Amino acid sequence: MKHLLYSFVLCMAISSFSLQALDIGEERVVQQIITQFTDGWNHSSGKEIAEHYSEDADFVNIFGTLFSGKQEIEARHAKILDTFMKGSTFEVTDQRIREVKPGFVIAHVWWKVTNVPTSDRPILKSTMEGIFTHIFVNYPDGWSITSTQNTPIPSKL
């Protein structure tokens, strides 16, 4: 009886931690948002980058600075794309998307930025690499990024 009870409790615990399978249509929407971020960068458009962030989103950049709110995220990206990242090219090199529970997705997105002007910031290399951790939430009006942590890969900076 003890073993039966233990097995039942163990099965319940394991099932409560299982990952959800993201619907293929929803995964495509999340991938489209990632693509639109990339396109926004390459169009030098802070507005395009911020388009799919929630109004109260947070964004931590590679320098550890926190930007809060869609407007601030848009303004910051517009500024960097007009200054020290002007003319750079952004590409996604890999990604992993998983639903942690219905309506909540974590996307790890590896990126590479090339053609980075280095004269203003000698700390930067002309090619940089890193990883985003995006948290997506499926709100009543659709999927949005609610939080992003941008982490550089130090050996690639």
Give pLDDT tens digits for 63-78.
999 999 999 999 999 9
pLDDT in the model for residue 116: 81
- Buried b / exposed e along 102-129 (16+ C-beta atoms within 10 A): eeebebebebbbeebeeeeeeebeeebb
Indicate the residue type of 121.
R
**What is the mean pLDDT of the segment spanning 82-103?**
94
| Dihedral of the alpha carbons of 39, 98, 138, 69, in degrees to the nearest 10 | -60
Indicate the residue type of 45.
S
Query: Does the structure show a pLDDT above 60 at 141?
Result: yes
Give pLDDT tens digits for 93-140.
999 999 999 999 999 999 999 988 766 655 566 889 999 999 999 999
CATH class held by domain 19-156: alpha beta
In contact, 84 and 121? CB cutoff 8 Å:
yes
Indicate the residue type of 96.
R
**What is the mean pLDDT of the segment spanning 49-75?**
97
**Domain map (residue ranges) of the chain:** 19-156
